Structures are given as structure tokens and as C-alpha cells.
Amino acid sequence: MRVGAGKKLVAVLALGLAMVVATPAQPASAAAYNCFLSQNLCLFWGTFNQGSYVYFAPGVNDANLNDNTFTQSGSGQGQAVGNNTRSASNYNSSHAVVLCTGVNYSGICRILAASDDWNLPSDLARNVESFYWVA
């Protein structure tokens, strides 16, 4: 018995659809996934690690975040990181990060522990201007 071309096409399309449906979903936040893989600090424009973000490699301190911009796609992309960060994730498992409200690690400073993330507290939200890594 010979199968017609139309039935073959339907079978191929059904198989293709089944493969698409069976594909695992991407992580809720691709940003979080990328930061985790490289043990980076990620600073996010929005709360709950949403919106545009920028990441920094372990050991790379920044005394002035006002000259950095959120680079990844999402709300806030292109805006200055200084005084616009609302959440942070430290995907490094052995080093904490100190976030400060002033340039050159001045002002109010708070520690973000290794392997931790949070919405910034009210004294830091939209007020971070520098950070440094600690052991």
C-alpha cells in the first residue's frame, strides 16, 4: 500500500511539532543562567533579576559604575548601571561582593554573600555606584 505525499507531509509536520513541544524550556532568566556558568556578579536594572543586566568576572572590581551601561536586552538596556541597579546576583561560590553607594567604595556598603542574590535594600536600590570582591 502506497502512502500519498499529503499524508507523508502531515506525518513529517506532526513529528516536527512533537519535537518542538518536547524541547526543554529555557531557564526563567537567561541572565541568571549565563552568570551562573561563569561565576559572575550580575547587576540587574529591575527587581527579581529582571530587565537588562551587566556582569562582572570574579576579581574585577569597579570603583565607578556610572560609566557602565546595562548591556543585555530588556528593560533598562543602555542606561547607566550606577544609581539604576535594583537587584543583584552573586553566582560565585567562594567570594562575596561589597556593594557601595558612593564611587571609590565609599558611602553605605553592604555585603552580598557568595552564591546569594537579592533585591537591593532601600538604602542601596538605585543607589549603587561601586563594588569590590572579597574572600
Whole-number Å distance between alpha carbons of 74 and 46:
9
Check whether 18 has a pLDDT greater than 90.
Answer: no
Cα 23 from chain centre? 23
Report pLDDT digits (tens) over 90-135: 999 999 999 999 999 999 999 999 999 999 999 999 999 999 999 8
Lowest average pLDDT, out of 16-25, 46-55, 89-98, goes to: 16-25
Give the pLDDT of residue 12: 41
Question: What domains lie within the chain, and their CATH numbers?
Answer: 26-134 (2.60.20.10)
Report pLDDT digits (tens) over 20-45: 333 333 334 454 556 667 789 999 99
Give the pLDDT of residue 6: 52
Residue 5's pLDDT band (boundaries 50, 70, 90)?
Answer: low
Q: What angle do CA 112, 113, 117 make, to 5 degrees?
A: 65
pTM: 0.75
Q: Which residues pair with 133 in a beta bridge?
A: 97
Whole-number Å distance between alpha carbons of 116 and 112:
7
